[in-house]
Amino acid sequence: MQKRFISLWFRHLMTDWLTLRQPELKDVPFVLAGPYHNRIIIRAANALAEQQGISAGMAAADAKALVPELKVLDDIPGQPAKLLKALGEWCIRYTPAVAVDLPDGLILDISGCTHLWGGERACLKEIVTRLRSKGYDVRGAIADTAGTAWGVARFGKVKPIIPPNGQQEALLSLPPAALRLEQVVLDRLYKLGLYTISKFIGLGRTTLRRRFGDGFLLRLDQALGNEAEPLQLLQPIEPYTERLPCLEPIRTAVGIEIAIKKLLESLCKRLASEGKGIRIALLKCYRIDGQMVSAGIGTNNATNNIDHLFKLFELKITTIEPALGIELFTLEAPKSEDVEPEQEILWLPGGCGLADTRLAELLDRLANKIGAGNIHRYVPQEHYWPERSIKPTISLKEKPPTTWRTDRPRPSILLPQPERIEVTALIPDYPPMLFIYKNKTHHIKKADGPERIEREWWLDQGEHRDYYYVEDEQGQRYWLFRSGHYTGDHTNQWFIHGFFA
């Protein structure tokens, strides 16, 4: 794919931002200044100040003498980086690859994205127009390389869109500063009378390296496309991402549903071709007011089944607030896994058990509605002691080391720790006639037992337990036990350990 970049230059970044915050500065020449080597130096000037000969780098005192009505404000260190980061995040609606270009610009990798906005010219016009409507004086250019786009945006005077493979021709008439060179190198070039790139671009590389250094050649190669230029993107691009721009802002739930279906169709088709499925998916909705709202889903098993994934997102639609309208939808799959071939068979009717995909679908819907932390699965462990005989797990694929014991009744709810109860028994070795649990008396109508479970002496020491399966007059069933042999102090050695369904 042919690489294409947009460079955006905010000519009065800080002063525009301050004017938006303080509208009374709109018609006032002002500058931002800060200390430098015991002097107050201008860091930024608004357009009105520049029209009167004020520029960055001047001493504030000299500027004040030149323009007495000039207003001098304190510079805010670090603010340009914060501001560019916020503007860059806003530009993600046009491309996922956006990088901050300090001190006053952004670089957008628009490769493969411009057709969504009607072509490169329409895309550049849309971005620049929107930013200008927000109050920023911005210029932009498009080229095959970020370096050429950067130079054309700041020094170009003919056309902002450089055709593919046209970067060398576009650079010839530009000054050396268009290559983002250090000031000491620029001074050397100007001293030699090399005022345009065309004056030295044809010189031998050995000569250029000897006179201007390796950094000079690197910048030249990056601008010409002979050397790749890495960009520090604001947000890492997920390998599985789909984008859907809207011709008109979407404000209704029906419109959001249609957008989700279209995105899922594209993403799942791609995943299916690679034998992968979604585990986590994130929907991002970029609104025309500059805000972004999102909704995420998760699945127990990797899946690329569109209907199932849409049902999960359908539960989230009520949480998406479109406000004045959503102009761009993106769908990311930050976590995906291989789909096992045998899993495809399970979509057919007749599946059963934990391997049945319909069970995973049901759990996905429940997890996305009530929270995954409220759903539990347990597998048996190879232990006799009840507290150790079960193990919690979050995966449907985990295979238990043993099978559930079915020869003796076991409660559906097992307390994490047995709780003491008071009992009345006819004979010490008989089951209780009644027991008191949480200040409530339960009269026992039926009982079975005892079942003796010895403590696992290789793990810890203690008494054995004699368990009874009992039912009270309300038909509720419990798992009770006496710890150790009867000693006469029966009030302190009876416990409740579980509840049957």
The pLDDT, as a whole number, for residue 344 is 47
The pLDDT, as a whole number, for residue 321 is 92
Instruction: Report the SS3 class of residue 385.
Output: coil
The residue behind tokens 């200008």 is: 132
Angle at 392 between CA 387 and CA 398, to 5 degrees: 130
CATH architecture of residue range(s) 241-365: 2-Layer Sandwich (3.30)
Q: What is the pLDDT of residues 420-477, one digit of tens each?
A: 998 888 776 788 899 999 989 999 999 988 889 888 888 888 888 999 999 999 999 9
Beta bridge partners of 378: 392
Angle (deg, nearest 10), helices 306-314 and 357-370: 20
Q: What is the mean pLDDT of each run of 10 residues along the chain (501 residues)?
A: 91 95 93 92 94 92 92 93 94 90 94 85 94 95 96 92 94 94 93 92 89 93 92 82 88 93 93 90 90 90 90 91 91 87 49 62 76 76 83 73 79 88 81 90 90 86 89 92 74 84 76
Q: What is the pLDDT of residues 478-490, one digit of tens each?
A: 999 988 877 665 5
The pLDDT, as a whole number, for residue 372 is 72
Instruction: Report the SS3 class of residue 251.
Output: coil
Joined tokens for residue 174 = 């530009």
In this prediction the pTM is: 0.60
Which has the closest alpha carbon to 140: 197, 191, 91, 78? Answer: 91
The pLDDT, as a whole number, for residue 354 is 58
- Radius of gyration from C-alpha coordinates of the chain: 36
The number of beta carbons lying within 10 Å of the beta carbon of residue 384 is: 11
Domain boundaries, the chain: 241-365, 413-499
Q: Are 150 and 156 in contact (CB under 8 A)?
A: no
Cα–Cα distance measured from residue 3 to residue 143, given in angstroms and rounded to the nearest whole number? 8
